[in-house]
Amino acid sequence: MIVSALVGLVLAAEPAPPAEPPVPLEPPAVHDPYQGMDRNGRIPARPLPFATDHPERWRYVPEGRIKPGNLLDRLFVSSFVAPIVFYEEAVGGGGGVAITDLDFRNQRRQEFLGAFASRSTQGQEGYSVLWQRWLEHRNLPGGGIAQEENTLVRVVGSYERILTRRFYGIGPDRGAGDETSYTDELGSAETFLRRSLPAAGDDWTAQLGLKYEQHNLYRGKVRNRPSTDDVHPALTSSGDGVGLWWVNAGLTYDRRDSRHNPYRGWMLSARLRSVPAWSGGEAAAIGSVEATWQLPVPGLLHDSGAADLARLGAEENPPTDVLAIGGQLHQTWGRLPYWALPSLGGSDTLRGFIGDRFTDRAAWHLGAEWRICAIPRGFAITDSIRVERIGVAPFAEIGTVAERTARLPRSRHHWDVGLGFRASLERTAQFRFDIARSPEQWGFNAAFGLPF
């Protein structure tokens, strides 16, 4: 019922037509890396030449950041190549490469392609490809583009063989001594469409997607830890060789000024990830509710005062310190393998614990961050290559899991505190490294994008 209603909404929605004929795509004879921006990195806001009720939700990219040429010509401007190097006793030494292209096929930043590959001496490996196209994209008179963040289509495919998955058992009271390990061979493919409703940039967003994933489980490789199949044979047996089709549907009411890096506003989202009976087993589903709230505050390390905060529209991406709060709630219906159940721990929830540290059929998490612009104008490496902003973010989190939602208030809660380091190439491209301390351990997590 929910899925069919959302299908109707998405198909009925039409993109807002441009108010004028398309702007010619002819690039200038000589690329000027500062066209449309100041030399200190400031990007003055551009009025949009088409009607929209929410201009703050369209990202302006100046012509200077749309460098022509192939992937190597645009290296560290709109394309990035990064080595992957790691070592762990259980997996050996490993390496690989991560390639991301924000202007795949030279579509003036309308298409994105990411490719990632790595392998270790002990056989751990991972390969993934992500393609994405923004469906609301406008070329602006005089150069540059405007792009609405929410409306897009994405396709992802991946294969991983991870030798060091950890599993502590089901429930909130599992201690560090309950750690087991297993090898997880995972293949997945996913596609989804997300669209603002009823027009580009509006408050409602609907999302529809389809995903297939299969897990083959083998004995763990972590030294001095038992293998999961020895400690939890029934759970391992029921989760081994299982392939699931997921039908994903979501509806969001979003009053934020940006999806990727909001400075003000709030958001409330409901999502249903369902496994229909035709996928090979019993019907099951996970329902999720998520909410976030962001409040701009006077800058701690820069001169953004109350008057500047009231004029955020004068600059495309002004240095802005933010207090942010995010919460989420998950509930499972039906029978699912243990690896598909809600869990806490890792790069986005309870960052002071190892990934998937706590697992059960219901989960609750709350986090708060103070996002501070430490170097508000970043720094230039060359005329074309620059880091737009450097920031830090002290944070605190709390959460727990339980058999069902009603038992969450009485479950043992877990917490951590930490400090995040942020580097922004632009408002929609933020890299972070978080260090967190929980009562159990230190956690170190590197990720792309904000946790909430």
Instruction: Measure the CA–CA gap between 237 and 244, rounded to whole angstroms.
Output: 15
Contact 124, 144 (CB under 8 A): no
Instruction: Measure the CA–CA gap between 162 and 283, rounded to whole angstroms.
Output: 28
Q: Which structure tokens are listed for 364?
A: 């609750």
Contact 452, 364 (CB under 8 A): no
Per DSSP (E only), the strands in 58-91 are 58-61, 79-88
CB atoms < 10 A from the CB of 206, how many?
21
CATH architecture assigned to 2-16+27-350 = Beta Barrel (2.40)
162-220 confidence digits (pLDDT tens) = 999 999 999 999 999 999 999 999 999 999 999 999 999 999 999 999 999 999 999 99
217-247 confidence digits (pLDDT tens) = 999 988 889 999 999 999 999 999 999 999 9
Site of tokens 């004929």 = 21
Q: Which structure tokens are listed for 125?
A: 């490996």
Site of tokens 């997945």 = 188
User: Within 317-372, where are the H helices?
Assistant: none
In tens digits, what is the pLDDT along the chain, a chain of 452 residues? 444 444 454 444 444 444 444 555 555 567 888 899 888 888 888 889 998 989 989 999 999 999 999 999 999 889 989 898 888 777 888 999 999 999 999 999 999 999 999 999 999 999 999 999 999 999 999 899 999 999 999 999 999 999 999 999 999 999 999 999 999 999 999 999 999 999 999 999 999 999 999 999 999 988 889 999 999 999 999 999 999 999 999 999 999 999 999 999 999 999 999 999 766 668 999 999 999 999 999 999 887 644 444 455 578 888 999 999 999 999 999 999 999 999 999 999 999 999 999 999 999 999 999 999 999 888 888 877 888 899 999 999 999 999 999 999 999 999 999 999 999 888 888 889 999 999 999 999 988 899 99
Q: Considering the entire predicted model, what is its pTM?
A: 0.88
Instruction: Measure the CA–CA gap between 334 and 281, rounded to whole angstroms.
Output: 11
- Angle ∠(269,113,324) on CA atoms, nearest 5: 35
